[in-house]
Amino acid sequence: MKLIFYLSIFCLLLSSCRKDSVGLDSKPLVSLPPEGYKLVWSDEFNGSNLDTTKWSYRGLGLRRQAYNVREAVFIDTTLNELVISNFMRNDTAFTGMIGTQRKFQQKFGYYECRARVDSISMGHWAAFWLQSPDMGRTLNPIVDGMEIDIMEFVRGDPYNINHALHWNGYGANQQSRSAETRSDVRLDNGQYHVYALEWTPEYYRFFVDSRLVWEVSEPISHMDQYIILSCEISDRNAFKRDFGFRPTNFVVDYVRVYAKQ
């Protein structure tokens, strides 16, 4: 009986952390945004500074092994792009994070950003994601919402994009499911890529460069959620080894959000 019990627990853990994997080029191209959506919010980063009517700086101070600072987030006024820079000063790492909490939050819709990452390595990762202000409050992700990682380079692999769902908070009750999209070419080769999510009451659909790479039908958040653009440095020594005192950037051309008409 004990063996059956432990096998059951093991299977449950596997299901809660289930990971799917797919090759990007094996997926057919689709037309995006999906039919029936209209643009309701966007930032094309055409100003001279970050638009603080749309974004707030998040988590200023120490996070993981770097300090989030305002100066790491700026607008490249020549190219009209947002830059989140990762850099070292002496023996300290710095990066940045912004979000739309309390400024723009939406339930369901189509979310898209066009971006490039200068260099993908174990030292840091860039991400485009949605978060709920009530995640884990009642342990019901339908009403609490969840973390929805549309794109992140969490493992430092330049050929793999990670997509993930996390719910029921970040403690002992946390559950997760994730997928990897494999590319035949490096994703830090200077090219821009479009990362997108269609979120409906019935499913999440994740897209990379107009290819449907992952679909999930449960659990689905029914909570208004906000957008985050971030970089994090999880290994300062690896970052310093790979980049020294040379900055590396996460560059975003635009972020656009659509709603069903």
Query: How does pLDDT run across 148-162, given as a tens digit for each residue?
Result: 999 999 888 999 999
41 neighbors 104 (Cβ within 8 angstroms): yes
Query: How does pLDDT run across 59-70, given as a tens digit for each residue?
Result: 999 999 999 999
d(CA 128, CA 227): 8
What per-residue confidence (pLDDT) applies to 123? 74
The answer to whether the predicted template modeling score (pTM) of the entire model surpasses 0.85 is yes
Q: Which helix (H) or strand (E) holds 137?
A: none
**pLDDT grade, residue 14 (50/70/90)?**
very low
Closest CA to 113 of 229, 255, 1: 255
Assess whether pLDDT exceeds 90 at residue 170: yes
Q: Domain 35-260 adopts which CATH fold?
A: Jelly Rolls (2.60.120)
48 neighbors 81 (Cβ within 8 angstroms): no
157 neighbors 165 (Cβ within 8 angstroms): no
**pLDDT grade, residue 128 (50/70/90)?**
very high
Q: What is the mean pLDDT of residues 17-44?
A: 88
The number of residues making up the chain comes to: 261
Tokens representing 105 are 């939050």
What's the whole-number average pLDDT of the chain?
92
Share of residues in the chain with pLDDT > 70 (%) = 92
Assess whether pLDDT exceeds 60 at residue 220: yes
What per-residue confidence (pLDDT) applies to 257? 99
85 neighbors 249 (Cβ within 8 angstroms): yes
Tokens representing 254 are 């635009």
Q: Which helix (H) or strand (E) holds 29?
A: none
Count CB-CB contacts under 10 A for residue 134: 15
Radius of gyration of the chain (CA): 18
